[in-house]
Amino acid sequence: MIEDFPLQLEGYHGLSWISHSERLWLIDHLPALGTMVEIGSANGATAAAIADVRPLAEILCVDNFCGFDKDHLGDGQTLKANWMANKRPNMKLFTALTDILVKDVQLVFVDGNHSEDDTYTNLLWADGVLNHEGWIAVHDAFGVSWEVDVMKAVERFVEEFFYEKSEFVNTMLPLRRMDYDG
Ligand SMILES: C[S@@+](CC[C@H](N)C(=O)[O-])C[C@H]1O[C@@H](n2cnc3c(N)ncnc32)[C@H](O)[C@@H]1O
């Protein structure tokens, strides 16, 4: 059974589009001084909830606020305004992945446009910035209508690159980078 989401987390603006177990997994896999990239941040509620328990970690969020979530926003609310209200000192916002210049990232959370091509492009980008013990967590890979496209991208990616699919955490599929020398 799929665990409920989105969630209105107390003290945060707008909805967090992941479940409790998914958020806890992300927190567990982000080292205290690590860097996480969230591709598709929406209200930034998930990022802020993670930032609050990992205040020394760096959380880089990407979103072009392309119109997602209109139905859940109150009068005069926008995703970007919510993101700014949720912003913590260790969160940064980018409107395009290509604007982020990082390396040695421990965790990339893929939750943007869930088309096959965009998911695949996001996975390729993640591979380029991840460190050797890093994780990619792909959201909406199980139990939702767009899982088919998301999983097509994942299967293409793991066939070509050296990653191991882990156990699903609710709808989220973690991919562990394998040691190329091992
Ligand atoms: C499912 S929501 C993200 C939810 C968020 N991770 C959370 O936990 O609350 C998907 C987001 O991806 C963004 N998005 C979709 N396509 C994008 C693109 N090409 N570039 C940047 N952001 C994009 C949308 O604006 C939307 O806010």
DSSP, residue by residue, 39-107: E--TTSHHHHHHHHH-TTSEEEEE----STTGGG--TT--HHHHHHHH--TTEEEESSGGG----SEEE
pLDDT class of 181 with cuts at 50, 70, 90: low
Pocket residues for ligand 1 (CB within 6 Å)? 16-18, 38, 40-43, 45-46, 62-66, 68, 79, 111-113, 118
pLDDT (0 to 100) of residue 162: 93
How far away, in angstroms, is 129 Cα from ligand 1 center? 19
Q: Which of the residue ranges 17-31, 42-56, 68-82, 95-109 would you say has the lowest mean pLDDT? A: 68-82
Dist. CA 14–CA 54, nearest whole Å:
20
Q: Are 93 and 61 in contact (CB under 8 A)?
A: yes
Dist. CA 55–CA 48, nearest whole Å:
10
Tell me the pLDDT tens digit for each residue of 58-83. Answer: 999 999 999 788 788 887 889 999 99
Residue nearest to atom 25 of ligand 1 (CA): 65
Choose among 11, 8, 53: nearest CA to 29.
53
Domain 20-177 has CATH 3.40.50.150: yes
Residue nearest to atom 6 of ligand 1 (CA): 41
How far away, in angstroms, is 182 Cα from ligand 1 center? 35
Mean pLDDT of 152-161: 97
Query: Which residue(s) pair with 137 in the sheet?
Result: 109, 174
